[in-house]
Structure 1
């Protein structure tokens, strides 16, 4: 059984909620996980317990504006600009360094785009040698076909983000577009920590990060060691095609794996119950193969 430990990560006068899932005995690897938009770190179902059953310690935090890092309603969706979002993630990673075991960084959706932005920022180049691998689950690199905002919406959204940065806007994906599991859909609507609101500043930053990745305006630091990217072909939140295109362009990274999940929706970790362990095992196998471990284990929770 995983040992769950709650805590906090202090950045200036801001306290961010943290949670760790720790295996029995000494870990074989450490994973830092960054959640997505309208999400929090306690919504990843069997993924983290499964990883710990394979000897991988998992550490995550609720980002500014989300989950239990929101101490009062005025903080909902208040993420700050991209520079602050990325520096928060870098600070959390650094808090787990140096590491006696290989350290990996993962992100889902918005979190996937955020960790790619960090891995592409020259300011954090010195971190790259400390991260054994970067894992992206359905990263936000582009909008899926049929769900793209029109040009005027994007233009005026960015303009409003500069004029009224803290104005809130309901921006969550419909829960039915997130997963094929009706029980998970119901839980999204019932979860009081999922407020679905983003500030115009935060949403503008999200759009800019996505565009920069999609259009190749940012490049991975040359010290990035390895990449794993998984995406469902029926994703209605982020673009499978944009992820594949971005991945294929990363010619400077020799150790990279792209995994297609045929017919799966946006939250691979919360897809149909029979599929969740498939995804969790893929992630664990890839991590452990880079820690000198075999990949034949078939852990059961």
Structure 2
């Protein structure tokens, strides 16, 4: 059973709420998680528990403007700052566990953050996992930016998972952002996509890409060009028929978790 501890640290835009999950045994590696847009690290208990059971100690942070962290709600002016905040978290993990390899896992918008992190700091990582990542082409950004006013349309929670309970819990979560996109954030997302597209591949850093084939929030065909640009010599791909956006909350989540933990185990034991 994973035990969690909440703590804070100073980020680029104020106090950030972080969390560490650990088990009773000595960990063999660190996993850092970057969460998605509008949500928070509290939604990753199931994933963290599976990672801890696989030998990890897990670190995550509510990005600025998300969850319990300071900042204007869901406003990101520059994703380079969010990457820098995540690097501070990584440095903390390494001070506490100086001899352990570090794996980075990013979901959705967190996939964009993790991809850019790997371009900046990939030489320090043991592996990179991108779950339903916002990289390559995400048409929602350009479509919304073309409008004079961003519509205040609630997220269709049925696009998260085939499990209705996931959408119901999301809709009732007070730490989840239920309002419209902010234009500043959309502009930052567009720049972030362009920055990654101009940046390097991850080279020989092991990269795993997982994606639901029925993901309507971040369609798989849009992410694929970004993955093709980013991938290097050590690459694994897993796509899941009928699965939607939140693979770790899907009906086949046990299969997804097994694929991810097996990939991590293979990377940290062959270093």
Equivalents in 1 of 2:241, 2:50: separation in Å?
Answer: 22
Give the equivalent residue in structure 1 for 2:248.
269
RMSD across aligned positions (CA): 2.5
Q: Deviations over 1:20-45 (max 9, x none)?
A: 11022110111000000011001124
Out of 203, 216, 226, which is 1:236 matched to? 216
Q: Does 1:95 align with 2:74?
A: no
Deviation, structure 1 residue 256: 1.1
Q: Deviations over 1:129-164 (max 9, x none)?
A: 2210111000012567xxx3495743567xx9xxxx
Q: Deviations over 1:49-89 (max 9, x none)?
A: 1111121111101011111114xxx7212333223222212
Q: What pairs up with 1:65-214 in 2 under 5 angstroms? A: 65-70=65-70, 75-97=72-94, 99-120=98-119, 124=120, 127-142=121-136, 148-149=139-140, 153-155=144-146, 170=152, 173-197=155-179, 198-213=181-196
**184-193 vs 41-50, which moves further:** 41-50
Inter-CA distance 202–149: structure 2 relative to 1 (3 Å threshold): closer
Consecutive unaligned residues of structure 1, counting only runs of 5 or more, are 161-167, 294-301
Inter-CA distance 90–171: structure 2 relative to 1 (3 Å threshold): farther
Deviation, structure 1 residue 236: 0.7
Deviation, structure 1 residue 199: 3.0
* Count, aligned residues: 267
Consecutive unaligned residues of structure 2, counting only runs of 5 or more, are none
Equivalents in 2 of 1:235, 1:152: separation in Å?
Answer: 18
Larger radius of gyration: 1
SS in structure 1 opposite 2:31? Answer: strand
Q: Does 1:283 align with 2:260?
A: yes
Inter-CA distance 27–86: structure 2 relative to 1 (3 Å threshold): same
SS in structure 2 opposite 1:44? Answer: helix
Deviation, structure 1 residue 212: 4.6
Give the equivalent residue in structure 1 for 2:48.
48
Equivalents in 2 of 1:33, 1:140: separation in Å?
Answer: 15
Deviation, structure 1 residue 244: 2.9
- 8 Å Cα contact 2:205/2:234 also seen in 1: yes
- 8 Å Cα contact 2:145/2:186 also seen in 1: no
Out of 235, 247, 254, which is 2:227 matched to? 247
Equivalents in 1 of 2:178, 2:137: separation in Å?
Answer: 18
With the length of structure 2 as denominator, give the TM-score of the two structures.
Answer: 0.88
Equivalents in 1 of 2:80, 2:100: separation in Å?
Answer: 29
Inter-CA distance 115–228: structure 2 relative to 1 (3 Å threshold): same
Equivalents in 2 of 1:171, 1:113: separation in Å?
Answer: 23
